Amino acid sequence: MLQNDLILRTLRGEKTERTPVWMMRQAGRYLPEYIAIRNKYGFFERCQTPALACEITIQPVDIVGVDAAILFSDILVVPQAMGLEVQLKENIGPLLPDPIKSIADLARVRVPDVDETLGYVFDAIKLIKQELNNRVPLIGFAGAPWTLLCYMVQGKGSKTFDEAKAFCFTQPELAHQLLQMITDTTIAYLKGQIKAGADVLQIFDSWGGLLSPADFELLSLQYIRQIVAAIKDDVPTIIFAKGAWHSLDAMAATGAAGLGIDWCIKPEMARQFAGKDITLQGNFDPAKLLSPIPVIEKEVKTMLQAFGPGRHIANLGHGILPNVPVDHARAFVNTVKEYQWS
Ligand code: CP3
């Protein structure tokens, strides 16, 4: 039995003594303890070595006191397992030197045996569960098929992912073939994470908001729907589709237990779109953590008030920035934990 199951109860819609809190990208570069490990091992070495992934995953639980751990890994381990080379360039980001552009390129991509290619993730999860010793739940995750396609086709980060979009708009059949292959791999991958012990799963659609509402349904949501349908009866699932507030109603209808929202939508409006029977997660502007601590405390309270008690998991609207001081992150977490509903 988990000692702290606030997040699980909130995802079920149960009343809790307070709002739970964690931070997207909480295991990362703002922590000096993470940097110390980063200076010794390469990025994928950290992901592939269960003892390192375990240590990094638990750091924010010990250091900032969040109510959940999130597996240290990356969404790009899936394209890697599907046969693409993925590099992480320091201070630049992901680089896929041979992206998918044509039908010939698609022949290089496969739906892999996840135990063979991603077994190290499952081993990490088992070790983390053991080391957490039921203190807090463990969140597993995967990238949404659309967001993974963005990297697999564009080959690197982008503000617009225009090449990925052009691929989908000019070669729709190929695009859908690739999206379905990613979906099938992701379902097997997430089922493996559940079997290994993940308590909650989050689907990151970081670039969902680059699509029109109609294209979001066509290129993203119809695949997310398949993933949620395959896992929702085993563990609660959170969909975070950044910028895709226009489809909160459709995302709520997938059977997900929670929806992540960014800071560009009012909580009241997100609630109206999503309906009352789903938990919302978010939506503090990550850059606001650079404010003085008293400002952070005041703004966190404003956020909590806007969501109201119940059906809310406090979080950032996107990942924590590397230049956030640790005591600012801690102020964010502690303000949520100490908040009293009067
Ligand atoms: O703490 C956690 O949230 C768990 C670990 C985690 C990482 N990446 C570690 C990481 C998670 C959940 C991710 C998800 C991820 N990865 C997303 C979706 C969430 C989002 O932020 O939008 C995306 C788009 C990626 C792809 C990716 N990985 C990018 C664009 C980058 C470079 C830019 C950046 O944020 O640094 C990475 C590298 C990466 N993944 C780092 C970490 C801690 C930093 C690199 C390093 O420490 O060497």
Model confidence pLDDT, tens digit, residues 9-62: 999 999 999 999 999 999 999 999 999 999 999 999 999 999 999 999 999 999
How far apart are alpha carbons 304 and 276 in whole angstroms? 16
- At 93-133, the pLDDT tens digits run 999 999 999 999 999 999 999 999 999 999 999 999 999 99
As a whole number of Å, the end-to-end CA separation of the chain is 30
Q: In this structure, which amino acid lies at residue 105?
A: D
Which pLDDT score, from 0 to 100, does residue 112 have?
Answer: 98
139's enclosing H/E stretch is strand 138-143
- Which domains are assigned to the chain? 6-338 (3.20.20.210)
* Neighbour-count burial for 227-262, b at 16+ CB within 10 Å, e otherwise: bbebbeeebbbbbbbbbbbbbbebbbebebbbbbbb
What SS3 class is residue 282?
A: strand
Q: Answer yes or no: are the C-beta atoms of 215 and 153 closer than 8 Å.
A: no
What are the tens digits of pLDDT across the range 267-291? 999 999 999 999 999 999 999 999 9
Ligand 1 pocket test, candidate residues 41, 73, 74, most atoms within 8 A of CB: 74
Region 313-325 average pLDDT: 98
Nearest to 200 by CA among 245, 243, 242, 235: 235
Pocket test residue of 58, 75, 320 for ligand 1, highest count of atoms within 8 A of CB: 75
pTM of the model: 0.97
Look at residue 342 and tell me whether its pLDDT is greater than 80.
Answer: no
Whether the Cβ atoms of residue 225 and residue 186 lie closer than 8 Å to each other:
no
* CB of 315 closer than 6 angstroms to any ligand 1 atom: no
Q: Does the annotation mark 38 as catalytic? A: yes
